[in-house]
Amino acid sequence: MTYLENKNRYRLLLILSFIALFLVIIISSMVGVADITFVDGAKIILNRIILLDRLISLDGIKHNYITIVWDIRFPRILLSALIGCGLSVSGAAFQGMFKNPMADPYVLGVSSGAALGATIGIVLGFQSSLLGLGSITIMAFIGAITTMIIVYHIAKIGGKVPVITLLLAGISISYLLSSVISIMMIFNKSQLDKIVFWIMGSVSAASWTHVKILAPITLIVTFFVIFFAKDLNIMLMGEDTASSLGIEVEKVKKILLLLCSIVVAATVSVGGIIGFVGLIVPHTVRMVVGPDYKHLVPFSAVLGAIFMIISDTLARTLMSPAEIPVGAITSLFGAPYFIYLLIKSKKKVTN
């Protein structure tokens, strides 16, 4: 297959992925207690898009349906998509930087830091808000960023950040913070349900404020990871090889570590700990489009968004009106699938 044919193939696949994403968004917007048709859901969403409001009329659609779709379901759908996108892109970047297929967005202990921050906020009963964000979200973000800084400085040796040291520092801090959380849960049993539900992940509190804050962070980080795609491709051959080819390895690592940690901190602070998204989505995409980061990152972003929307839709509808933490749904799908991938790779090795 020629280079041009390959390029056209990837473009077609990407277009189909975006169409699939749009269809998933529409279907998710109509699923719930209120019986909203696919056509009505599509009209409500498209009507709010710039330049389409004059072309698509909402006459005949109940006002409460418009409120349900646009003000309740749609922010939640978009937030789920942004979380899936952010975790998948950062997971792909971490796997490339660490040259480790087991690396995921939480490998630096950012999730544990966010969980500790949220736990402190829940236990102390903070009720304040900033920029429209609740105190729990703010505390979780502060905890995640603080943990990232601590791990980075522990791992830093001179002007370099060795991968192994960084991973070990992240794992150690993660276990330490998890222990602190466990102790706080034992001494604050009245808040146990809130803490556990937050840790298991949920976007039930989604709002347009969350979307407006997370969207630019996720899109900027995705752009930068795509921008560094060539560097990540070369770094897969080894840091020494990358350096000999003119790549400023330490500079690239620092930039991507900072950006990816920020987007992970932001996603965890608004959605809790949602496992396996950043681990299995890049793996799945590699099986379809290959390891080239120019294709891997955008496809991971779209597939991550689709996976999270589907998972959250199941989380809010399977036991309606009760709700399952979305982190439990992603793990329920992700863990067996990842085990399948491991068994498949093991068979290749033995054969």
CATH assignment at residue 212 = 1.10.3470.10
Query: Which residues does the chain have with pLDDT short of 70?
Result: 1-5, 50-51, 126-133, 345-351
* C-beta separation of 93 from 253 below 8 A: no
User: What is the sign, positive or negative, of the torsion defined by CA atoms of 339, 304, 37, 64?
Assistant: positive
The answer as to whether 324 is a domain residue is yes
User: What is the sign, positive or negative, of the torsion defined by CA atoms of 146, 151, 157, 159?
Assistant: negative
Tokens of 114: 């966010």
The answer as to whether 143 is a domain residue is no
Q: What pTM does this model have?
A: 0.90
Pairing type for strands 129-130 and 133-134 reads antiparallel
The answer as to whether 239 is a domain residue is yes
Please give the Cα distance from 122 to 256 (Å, whole number): 31
Please give the Cα distance from 96 to 91 (Å, whole number): 9
Please give the Cα distance from 84 to 57 (Å, whole number): 32
The answer as to whether 113 is a domain residue is no
Please give the Cα distance from 281 to 132 (Å, whole number): 31
Which residue matches tokens 């093991």? 346
The answer as to whether 114 is a domain residue is no
Amino acid at 61: I
Query: In terms of residue numbers, what domain contains 43?
Result: 3-104+191-342
Among the listed residues 76, 120, 124, the one whose alpha carbon sits nearest the alpha carbon of residue 308: 76
CA 324 to the chain's CA centroid: 18
Q: How large is the C-alpha radius of gyration of the chain?
A: 21
The answer as to whether 253 is a domain residue is yes
pLDDT of residue 38: 83
3-state secondary structure of 202: coil
pLDDT of residue 129: 60
Tokens of 143: 């905890």
pLDDT tens by residue, 88-123? 999 999 888 888 777 788 888 888 898 899 889 888
pLDDT of residue 227: 92
CA 167 to the chain's CA centroid: 20
The answer as to whether 240 is a domain residue is yes
The answer as to whether 110 is a domain residue is no
3-state secondary structure of 292: coil
What own/partner pairs with CB < 8 Å and gap ≥ 24 does 31-39 have? 31/313, 31/317, 32/68, 32/73, 32/316, 32/317, 32/320, 33/320, 33/321, 34/64, 34/65, 34/68, 36/65, 36/68, 36/69
Please give the Cα distance from 256 to 250 (Å, whole number): 10
Overall domain count for the chain: 1
Total residue count of the chain as it appears in this document: 351
User: Could you tell me where the DSSP H helices lie in the chain?
Assistant: 3-30, 38-47, 63-67, 74-98, 110-124, 135-155, 163-187, 192-200, 208-227, 229-235, 239-244, 249-271, 277-289, 293-317, 326-350
